[in-house]
A = this chain, B = another copy of it.
Amino acid sequence: MSDTGDHSFSWKIPTGDNLKRQVCDDCGWIHYENPKIVVGAVCTWGDKILLCKRAIDPRLGYWTIPAGFLEENESPEHGAAREADEEAMAKIEIDALLGIYTIPRISQVQLMYRAKLVSDNVAPGIESLEVGLYAWDEIPWSDLAFPTVTWALEHFREAGDRIDFAPFTNPPGMILD
């Protein structure tokens, strides 16, 4: 698509396809809608975990690990580090893929990493009301923003100091679709 052009779309099944897609009425360009990737990280400083209180909807005022949508031309690891920087002004080093969670209902695949903070110098970015480093028993479990935040934290604990492990997936029965 041109940087300035306007397009109008209709829903059609393209030749050789089996699902309806948005097709440009003028040029025939097919706009495929596909699931989006969320990237995030459980980031630690010693035995403390970085949490951010959300300043934006959805779930404003609830706590999350730094996470957000992967952008075009970005690797998942880079995206997770960017989110930590944007939400908590935190510099991190990723050391493992902790979990891959799927939420078919909203067409999301979440890649949650495990990372170490490079320093304990963290501060709220524009999307956070407050950020902090919390010990395991200080985590506000009932005020976490999303189920996948809870899963990532639990899987972080379960992974312990293992390095070479299959990433966790949705807990049994938690299909969320």
Q: Which residues of A line the B interface, CB within 8 A?
A: 1, 3-4, 6-11, 16, 19-20, 22, 25, 32-37, 56, 69-76, 78, 96-97, 100, 102, 104-105, 107, 109, 111, 126, 163-167, 175, 177
- B104 & A166 in contact (Cβ 8 Å cutoff): no
Q: Which residues of B contact A177 (CB under 8 A)?
A: 73, 75
Q: Which residues of B contact A167 (CB under 8 A)?
A: 97, 166-167
Which of B4, B11, B104 has a CB less than 8 Å from the CB of A11? B4
- B75 & A37 in contact (Cβ 8 Å cutoff): no
Identify 16 new A-B residue pairs, CB closer than 8 A, beyond the known A32-B36, A35-B71, A166-B166.
A4-B11, A6-B25, A7-B8, A19-B71, A33-B72, A34-B69, A34-B72, A35-B72, A35-B74, A37-B109, A73-B105, A73-B107, A73-B177, A96-B166, A164-B164, A165-B165
Q: Which residues of B contact A100 (CB under 8 A)?
A: 76, 97, 111
Q: Which residues of B contact A8 (CB under 8 A)?
A: 6-8
